[in-house]
Structure 1
Amino acid sequence: MTSHGRVVLITGLVILGIVGCCWIVSDIAWRTSQATHVAQAQRAGQAARSWPPPRPAFTPDEVRAFLAKVRSAEAIADPLQRCVSYPDPPRSHWSPESAKAYCLYYLQQTITFDEAEKLIEHGQAAELDRRLAQELQAQLTRPDSHGLLDHTYFASFNDGSFDVRETLDAWKRASPSSAFAFAASGSAYVAMASKARGGAYINETPQSNIDAMDRLLQQADTDLQRAAKLDPKVTPTYVAMINAGSMSLGGDYLRRAAQAGLAAAPDNYAIYGTLSGATEPRWGGSLAAMDHMARQAQAYVKQNPLLAILLSAEPAYRYDVCNCRSSADWSMFPTVFDNVSSVSLLSYAGGAASEQNHFDLAAIYLSEVLRFQPGAEGARRQRDVSLPAFGETAMALDDASRLIAADPLPSRNFRARADIYMSMGKVALAEKDLEQALAIDPDDIDVLVPLGDLYANQTYEWDKAWHIADRIIQKYPNSPAGWMTRATIQENQPRAGLADTLQHVVEHFGHDPSMQWQINRMREVLARGPRSAPSFRASKNH
């Protein structure tokens, strides 16, 4: 879509009263993209933490009082009571009705793709249609079921895998008059088109990728148009159409989908959320348009309290929460999250805060993620690592030990508990957990780096540290972490070769601003001769 087309689209959306916010995506899609981003950052050797630690946005007393209420809430067995008993972030003004509606949103039992596949394979497509019709009716008529059908489609028909095509095509053949079948097929085609295009800028995307995207979007449109004719109340149809319009089918297509979708369901959270990206400044919109549209949505907030979540959109974009790595204004996060916010935004903010040693924000916003999604293990691991800063070591260890007991295979659970032990000064227990994690996954850089750092900077087991450094260098040549561990050993054992290490680091990582401190440090050491205190901490740069 051209810039002019975007502006026309934004103007049209404002006139229609359509609202938007910072992209509200399905949590499954977000977790996948976030895991990919983190892995790429680690392999590229980007700095994982800022130094010195940033100034806190909340006082220690505020965080401790918040965590005491979190402990009480997490002891409640009833899922809904647990969620509504959670504290809101300090000094925030979350609507109790919206928080409860969001609790209910994530507590709803949805039909999984596996369940749908089994019904179709056993000749029971009609039963699948019946159950989805029940979900639609509940979404339209029951206050405790806002977004039920939309949530099902986000979770079950939106992963972009070509493996689902056989099942969805069989469903369409078995139920040729089912809007649910064609909406699911169209939604899957849109997700496949997005995957085919890839995540690069359009001028960096091969034409073959764009052609594949366009072909898949045309197939999506055929199914989605049929779904809309069969039953115009099936809201996932419009969500998929809006996504398709924003990709390459154009502003007119998107506008028609928005009009039809909001005519069918004027208080629908998924439709508003999917439209939200069109109002962002980077797509030709403006902060004023984002704020205006979000506030327009509040006309329906009594019918659907989930719409209050959209109020976080403009401040989240303004203060760079969606891309919070280095340019975010951390002090403004309490303003961003003054209203109930999406799990996506809370996860971005809390995860980035954890990476940047902003433990007050991490403890609070990742706890809010766990309020709505207690099974979000990644958020739990990151949250728990921040707890010892506020004296909550028992809570952190209990959480980490439960994760290990429930599933001892993921090495990252042992890694998280090792981080907690290290914060407590229990180096021997941390070493034991890291070695256990390495036995599970010998090539995990998230384990190799802290274990090498522990050997080099805590226990001074130089041969073990050297062996770990070699493994990192061989397995992850684009990461400076192994070279930094090697430099620590060469300075402090001491061991020969620091000049060679410096030369390699300068040649391969000298363009990285985050590496300048380490490079300058190595030069100083070479000029003065070996020192006795550890100086190069690889854990900063894996």
Structure 2
Amino acid sequence: MTSRVRWLLVFGVLVVGGALGWATYLGHAVPPVRPLPPAAPLQVRRGPIQPPFTDGELKQFLKDARQAEAMADPLQRCLAYPEPPGVHWTKAVTSAYCHYLFDPVVTAAQARDLIENGHVSELEQKLSAAEQAQFSQEGAQSLLDRTYNLAFGGSTDDTRALMDAWKRQAPDSPFALAASGTAYVAMAQRQRGSAYAQKTPQSSFEAMHRLLERAREDLDRAVALDPRLTPAYVAMIYVGALDSDPAYAFSAAKRALHVDPASYPAYARLVWMSQPKWGGNVAQMQRIVDASQQHAKQNPLLLLLLSERSGGEDYVENCACNPFDEDDLYRKVFAEAAPVRMLMSAGWAAANRNNIALSVVYRSELLRFDPGQLDHRESRAFNLIMLGEPEWGLAEGNALVKLAPQDETAYDVLGQAHRALGDAGQAANDFEQALRLNPTDTWTLTAVGDIYVNVTHDWDKGWAVANRLVQLSPEDPRGWFMRANIQRAQPRDGLEQTIAEFTSRFGTTPGNEGLVAQMKAIRPQ
């Protein structure tokens, strides 16, 4: 099973109860994270709570979102995207964020062309103009920072070679040194990976530290040559966080905010590294967010940080939310536009808590700001089908197959959409293609087995799938239920033996009484 979330099919007699379905789903959701301390809890209203938006508002949002997503230009697509229903995001904030994410002064391709053709002086003139503009022109906040993020933040060996070529042509250029340091930090993060420390090899940490040392050298030289070079300071904050050197990080932040008191990248990085899971605390996060808001009139991007006052990603992921609390969290934590990482966490968490509509809204806004998040796009496609949008789900499946033809989950999206549209034969073909890419995926086996058993009554194929499920995952009830239903419906010998084996395997575990009762109920009366 891949790391992407796929929704458990619950068709016909394969339904084994809500508890089983959600246990299966939650097993493929998000990795466990440390619970947050009780500081600054969300103030949940008591008494009657109205949903945050009506069905009509949701349908209009989906219609407008799909229309915006048809636009090819990423910036125009982002600017045209609807705001979430039921809350009132400020247009100035979302517009600034769209420009921050999609509107560099120089693109990576343009920078490459200038460096490879020996025109680094022209590149540096553009960067110098951007540096001047972000301090003097309204609407140009963080212009140089976003250019460095988008043009020089690559973590590949190819990017490294390009930065070295730039430095050879201009060894004393602060812009080249800052770009080189930024690339080293990206490479260090790639070496570190995203796993918890105890699951990360020591060799990865050693490689990360070597790259961070090189990053420090370049970044320290860059700001010595140009003390106003804010992208270098922001990269230094990241170096300190990755290298467990908070003194270095906070020194860089202090210098960045001295140069640009309204620096969104500096404040955002400080909030990120102050999360409890990185050794900080919620109170510290709140102090940083509150300090940033003193400059929000100068830089509307700072309003994005309001969503993190309650504890950021961990708080959203670990909220002990019932459906009413989930709606209240949406109204309060996401009352204003939020950074990509907050929307990402909220999308996973809302789906985990079975609020499919909110999950679609969060993930749609995430894809507005970061359309390259294919895992979330796939998960949203399943959600869309569940919300009664199978045609859009089908279109997404076709698009995902083109983007990632070796990704079995894209074919699962197609299969789920075709099944919802009543084309079970094509759905089976889609699932079979997914299985050719990943023959051991029990989710897909269950999906195609459901079609063979409950729609086409292709008993031999269904039987092969059921046995494969039992073989791959004997502790998963779905294979056993599939086998028993075939034995009853065909009929086929061995039903009593299947019931006995199931009862023996699952009947001794407290809480499985309902499963055992459902299995025994398959026995003909």
* Pairwise TM-score range, normalised by the shorter structure: 0.7 to 0.9
Secondary structure of the residue that 1:47 maps to in structure 2?
Answer: helix
- Percent identity of the aligned residues? 37
Instruction: Pick from 479, 485, 497 the counterpart of residue 492 of structure 1.
Output: 485
| 1:244-393 superposed matches below 5 A | 244-248=239-243, 250-283=245-278, 285-315=280-310, 317=312, 320-322=315-317, 330-331=326-327, 332-354=329-351, 356-374=353-371, 376-393=373-390
Separation in 2, partners of 1:149, 1:473: 57
Separation in 1, partners of 2:215, 2:524: 65
In the TM superposition, what is the alpha-carbon distance from 1:189 to its structure 2 partner? 2.6
Q: Residue 192 of structure 1 corresponds to which residue in structure 2?
A: 187
**Contact conserved, 1:60 with 1:390, CA < 8 A, in 2?**
no
Distance 1:208 1:76, change over 3 A: closer
In the TM superposition, what is the alpha-carbon distance from 1:230 to its structure 2 partner? 2.0
Q: Residue 48 of structure 1 corresponds to which residue in structure 2?
A: 25
* Alignment: residue pair count: 481
Q: Residue 523 of structure 2 corresponds to which residue in structure 1?
A: 531
Separation in 1, partners of 2:334, 2:277: 22
| 1:127-276 superposed matches below 5 A | 127-162=122-157, 164-202=159-197, 207-248=202-243, 250-276=245-271
Q: What is the CA deviation profile of residues 198-232 of structure 1, one whole-angstrom value per residue up to 9, with x for unaligned ones?
A: 54554665555444433332222111111111222
Q: What is the CA deviation profile of residues 129-184 of structure 1, one whole-angstrom value per residue up to 9, with x for unaligned ones?
A: 34443443444444444434333433454454455433333322222012222222
Which runs of 5 or more structure 1 residues have no equivalent in the other structure? 1-34, 534-542
Task: Give the number of the structure with larger relative contact order, counting CA–CA contacts within 8 Å between residues 6 or more apart.
Answer: 1
Q: What is the CA deviation profile of residues 229-278 of structure 1, one whole-angstrom value per residue up to 9, with x for unaligned ones?
A: 12222222111211121233522211210111112222221111111124
Separation in 2, partners of 1:498, 1:246: 55
Distance 1:444 1:125, change over 3 A: farther
Distance 1:377 1:142, change over 3 A: farther
Separation in 1, partners of 2:388, 2:518: 37
| 1:490-529 superposed matches below 5 A | 490-494=483-487, 496=494, 498=498, 502=502, 520=513, 523-524=516-517, 528=520
Which runs of 5 or more structure 2 residues have no equivalent in the other structure? 9-21, 28-49, 488-492
Secondary structure of the residue that 1:233 maps to in structure 2?
Answer: coil
Distance 1:87 1:214, change over 3 A: closer
Separation in 2, partners of 1:373, 1:194: 19
Secondary structure of the residue that 1:94 maps to in structure 2?
Answer: coil
Q: Residue 422 of structure 1 corresponds to which residue in structure 2?
A: 419
In the TM superposition, what is the alpha-carbon distance from 1:96 to its structure 2 partner? 1.8
**Contact conserved, 1:112 with 1:155, CA < 8 A, in 2?**
yes
In structure 1, give the amino acid aligned to 2:484. E
Secondary structure of the residue that 2:335 maps to in structure 1?
Answer: coil
Separation in 2, partners of 1:256, 1:49: 41
Q: Residue 7 of structure 1 corresponds to which residue in structure 2?
A: none
**Contact conserved, 1:462 with 1:489, CA < 8 A, in 2?**
no
Secondary structure of the residue that 2:271 maps to in structure 1?
Answer: helix
Q: What is the CA deviation profile of residues 357-391 of structure 1, one whole-angstrom value per residue up to 9, with x for unaligned ones?
A: 42110222222223334565544443343334554
Separation in 2, partners of 1:131, 1:441: 48
TM-score by length of 2: 0.75
**Contact conserved, 1:316 with 1:322, CA < 8 A, in 2?**
no
Distance 1:38 1:256, change over 3 A: same
**Contact conserved, 2:393 with 2:417, CA < 8 A, in 1?**
yes
Separation in 2, partners of 1:468, 1:129: 61
Distance 1:344 1:282, change over 3 A: closer
Separation in 2, partners of 1:307, 1:387: 32
| 1:94-133 superposed matches below 5 A | 94-109=89-104, 111=106, 113=108, 116-133=111-128
Separation in 2, partners of 1:420, 1:393: 5
**Contact conserved, 1:80 with 1:107, CA < 8 A, in 2?**
yes
Q: What is the CA deviation profile of residues 381-411 of structure 1, one whole-angstrom value per residue up to 9, with x for unaligned ones?
A: 4334333455444444444445557776654
Separation in 1, partners of 2:134, 2:413: 39
Separation in 2, partners of 1:425, 1:59: 28
Distance 1:471 1:188, change over 3 A: farther
Distance 1:487 1:405, change over 3 A: same
In the TM superposition, what is the alpha-carbon distance from 1:106 to its structure 2 partner? 3.0
**Contact conserved, 1:414 with 1:436, CA < 8 A, in 2?**
yes
Q: Residue 66 of structure 1 corresponds to which residue in structure 2?
A: 61
Distance 1:160 1:466, change over 3 A: farther
In structure 2, give the amino acid aligned to 1:491. A
In structure 2, give the amino acid aligned to 1:234. L
**Contact conserved, 1:241 with 1:254, CA < 8 A, in 2?**
yes
In structure 1, give the amino acid aligned to 2:300. P
- C-alpha RMSD over aligned residues: 4.3
Secondary structure of the residue that 1:303 maps to in structure 2?
Answer: coil
**Contact conserved, 1:104 with 1:144, CA < 8 A, in 2?**
no
Separation in 1, partners of 2:155, 2:87: 37
In the TM superposition, what is the alpha-carbon distance from 1:355 to its structure 2 partner? 5.3
Separation in 1, partners of 2:189, 2:72: 40
TM-score by length of 1: 0.73
Separation in 2, partners of 1:119, 1:284: 42
Distance 1:529 1:75, change over 3 A: closer
**Contact conserved, 1:448 with 1:472, CA < 8 A, in 2?**
yes
In the TM superposition, what is the alpha-carbon distance from 1:516 to its structure 2 partner? 7.5
| 1:405-416 superposed matches below 5 A | 411-416=408-413
Separation in 2, partners of 1:68, 1:192: 40
Q: What is the CA deviation profile of residues 43-64 of structure 1, one whole-angstrom value per residue up to 9, with x for unaligned ones?
A: xx973259xxxx9765434423
Separation in 2, partners of 1:466, 1:176: 68
**Contact conserved, 1:147 with 1:268, CA < 8 A, in 2?**
yes
In structure 2, give the amino acid aligned to 1:486. G
Secondary structure of the residue that 1:232 maps to in structure 2?
Answer: coil
